[in-house]
Amino acid sequence: MIENHSAANSAPMRQSMPTPAAAIEAIPASQRVTRLLGERLELVEDLWETVLRSECPPEQAERLLRLKQLSDPDEADVTGAIVQLIREMDLAEAIAAARAFSLYFQLVNILEQHIEEDTYLDSLKNQENGPSDPFLPALANQTDPATFRQLFARLRSLNVPPAQLEKLLRTLDLRLVFTAHPTEIVRHTVRHKQRRVATLIQKLEQGSGLNCLERQGLRLQLEEEIRLWWRTDELHQFKPTVLDEVDYALHYFQQVLFDAMPQLRDRIRAALKLSYPDVEPPRDSFCTFGSWVGSDRDGNPSVTPDITWRTACYQRQLMLERYLKAVNELSDQLSISMQWSQVSPALLESLEMDRLRFPEIYEERAARYRLEPYRLKLSYTMERLRLTHQRNQQLADAGWESPCDGSAPPPPMGGSMAPAPTQELHYSTVDEFRYDLELIQDSLERTGLSCESLQHLISQAQIFAFCLASLDIRQESTRHSDALDELSRYLQLAVPYGEMDEAQRVEWLLSEIQTRRPLLPPTAKWSAATAETFAVFRMLQRLQQEFGSRICRTYVISMSHTVSDLLEVLLLAKEAGLVDPLAQRAGLLVVPLFETVEDLQRAPAVMGTLFRHPFYLALLGSDGGQPLQEVMLGYSDSNKDSGFLSSNWEIHKAQIALQRLAIEHGVALRIFHGRGGSVGRGGGPAYQAILAQPSGTLSGRIKITEQGEVLASKYSLPELALYNLETVTTAVLQNSLVSSPVDETPSWNELMGRLAARSRDHYRALVHDNPDLVAFFQQVTPIEEISKLQISSRPARRKSGAKDLSSLRAIPWVFGWTQSRFLLPSWFGVGAALQEELDQDPGQLELLRLLYQRWPFFRMLISKVEMTLSKVDLDLAHHYVQALGRSENREAFEAIFQSIAAEFGLTRDLVLAITGHSRLLDGDPALQLSVDLRNRTIIPLGFLQVALLRRLRDQNRQPPMSETSASSSDDGRTYSRSELLRGALLTINGIAAGMRNTG
């Protein structure tokens, strides 16, 4: 039987939670989201119960349903009853329970995504031309996301000049970067099944016109799909490769974003016409995408130059296949005959040029399309796309070190005429493809016609080009300095690079960058790490030569500390031909990533030194005539280093200082926000986070990471994707147009400085200064088991074998605390800092309440803490401590837990005092209902996880399939280590689905 320990003294810690029905009654009817969740939850729970009864033995199904029933707060002695029920389970039943609750949460996730989508669609249908409520909050203080139509109407009512808006729209530049940090642990296979289930649920919910038989048929299909899902393994059978991760991330482009982006363009244009009819809309590519998947090599030895090259080829392949399909559909649509419509001379002239280039296509199609010029033109276009696709495949197979002219020419399409070389016929750039499409569009418009499908295709070509998403290279700073040190020793410099001080390094680097003399001996032999560092830059040069600069123009330097960190990359780029010192041009944008608190504080000084060098300024790319500098700010490591409050304040201050510096030197600044999915890594609602950015620091430009774990919740459904993209855009416009002078209030900044310093001291006292914290984290969270989940090509630690916190990546750090329900990185230290301020002056509470009402930055901080606190379950966390902590650590671990519990109570009480809420999340009833539902239902999974982890960790060796008597249960059953690990990993899967934002 599965062993467990009761959680002593736990009942008082858990807050009582209303049942769904009671919660819904307590919320005003106007809250449509809460009503929909209550209504549709009945369907999901009914489906879940039906599947369990059909797939599990009757006794097992009853126990699983009883386990869920026990999570109802109306049940007496919840903890004891759950523990007793889990004790009665054998391993097979425990695994079934973990799978059942994981399935439940994933069904609820699908339900909530559809509700979000439906709510957004309703807002589009019901919105009026302008705001009718005269008491709406000022735009700078608005917290509810706005649509394009609502925002432009409000800007009009505020008399924002059309010229001001048009100037901003002209330079609007939003970049969303998908990252390879997959704490999203759902298999691709399961994701496809979820999509089918989601589609059927949507049909059933929206099918008001369905008759009884049709509804019954849909219901049976749903049960069938979920049963197939139940019999599918949730866990990856192998560790995913980098290219598996590439395929996973690109899934959202293929399924949703490719078709959604033209609709985003249409919506912003339509909204402008209503309020600002004379304002020119932004260019189609005002919102573009980047990716770290296949190019982020920081701590991931699996990301080689060959992998990045193959990633670029794969992305181009996907785009070419979509373009081929779209052009083929256009050919069916544009059946216009010259007998009934004029054709522009430019199009006719291009057809004559195409006839000479593609005589075999002319011979084959001319008779059929003799009077249908658009179809004939599209036939040539399809052939050029086919040849481009063929060349791309040849380059993917040959690798990045293949000759620049490609491989052998393609075989003839037919006929006896030998084809011209492939490179003369394929599309060498997306501009050539767009030119052909725009010729057709221009000809149609000259004759009074338009074609929406053609316009959408032109927009897609502008947004995605042939590369789909720009690849950002990322590497840790010491890799470059180590490579240059090895080079300097080979060249026998008087002072090796590794022994130079910072001033010497900067002087040497600048002198070498500005000369064309090669520095790298072509025949020298290097260590493996240095050889790969040099190879990355040669591969980059080859990528840009083949794909154009758009495929990969950004090089992010993680752990940037000094000026030399940036100059090192420029020197290596120069050696690869990516920097021309005489022309003072660079094909690479070097982006420092400032991560720790110390680095954030140093960032203005580092960038100021660089901006004072005219040569460096000349190498920056241009944005509207100004040099453009991109700077990345890291939320994850600064949070791990100093806690939530300190991290956010230092990032806020760094943005203001960097923007002032950029203005002083005439530089356009683009801030790249390295936000994670969880609050502890900068996550949270994007709209509020963007509005909370310091006033004047955006200017219509922003770059944001989209972590692997949030992709499904943001981009799995078309309208959900459009909602996310629209709200991000409106937030950037709103922040850029509506200034908020409160960021400059001296007394408020002084207060935040005190709070940040106190919070950091309290956080570091526990996390970095307590000698027992590392052991506590390793024992009472499933961190070691998380590292065994086959969810990422990337190691959990930066250095293999190291067990200290400095080597642990921020993602598993947050993931571990979330699984055990502490969620410590997202709130610890906040309460102590606030209390110290109030101890000095109790009257400061009124000021804190004022800041919450008036200052978007402070409101965002408190709101994130409030949301995170609502997900904490200290009695369950205490059970992890008691059951998983070793006996020799019991006293030390209990002291750590009591410290955490005291800080939790203090933080919760002060957050409630500042917000004026009587209960956490009272200001967001829909979120409160969702969190309550998840908090309740996730409890059995936590107890299951502890039971399985305890048994698993009791085995001190790698066991055979049958365990010795020492690991046998009271009923004589024996379990293998692999079986126990599988059960534990399934609980991690289920809790991740239930918590949603995991790492």
Which among 941, 993, 984 has a CA at the least distance from the CA of 786? Answer: 984
User: What HEC string does 956-992 produce?
Assistant: CCCCCCCCCHHHCCCCCCCCCHHHHHHHHHHHHHHHH
User: How many whole angstroms from its chain centre is CA 223?
Assistant: 32
Which H helix or E strand runs over 574?
Answer: helix 563-575
> In this structure, which amino acid lies at residue 183?
T
Residues 6+ apart with CB under 8 A from 748: 742, 851, 855, 858
Which H helix or E strand runs over 290?
Answer: strand 287-291
How far apart CA 58 and CA 941 sit, in angstroms, is: 21
Residues 6+ apart with CB under 8 A from 234: 99, 102, 186, 187, 190, 986, 989
Helices (H), 496-562: 502-513, 528-547
Residues 6+ apart with CB under 8 A from 354: 361, 362, 377, 380
Q: Catalytic residue numbers?
A: 181, 640
Burial code (b: 16+ CB inside 10 Å, e: under 16) for 679-689 equals bbbbbbbbbbb
Q: Are 961 and 976 in contact (CB under 8 A)?
A: yes
How far apart CA 391 and CA 421 sit, in angstroms, is: 11
CA geometry: angle 492, 496, 498, nearest 5 deg: 150
How far apart CA 786 and CA 790 sit, in angstroms, is: 9
> In this structure, which amino acid lies at residue 742?
V
Q: What six digits make up the tokens of 440?
A: 């057709």
User: What HEC string does 140-192 produce?
Assistant: HHCCCCCCHHHHHHHHHHCCCCHHHHHHHHHCCEEEEEECCCCCCCCCHHHHH
Q: What secondary structure does DSSP assign to 446-475, as a single string?
A: HTT---HHHHHHHHHHHHHTTTSSEEEEEE
780: buried, middle or exposed (CB in 10 Å: 19+, 13-18, 0-12)?
buried
Which among 441, 457, 466 has a CA at the least distance from the CA of 284? Answer: 457
Q: What six digits make up the tokens of 610?
A: 């660089």
Which among 69, 18, 137 has a CA at the least distance from the CA of 921? Answer: 18
> Locate tokens 């309550």: which residue?
932
Q: Are 780 and 886 in contact (CB under 8 A)?
A: no
Q: Are 384 and 352 in contact (CB under 8 A)?
A: no
C-alpha dist (Å) from residue 3 to 78, 557, 943: 18, 48, 10
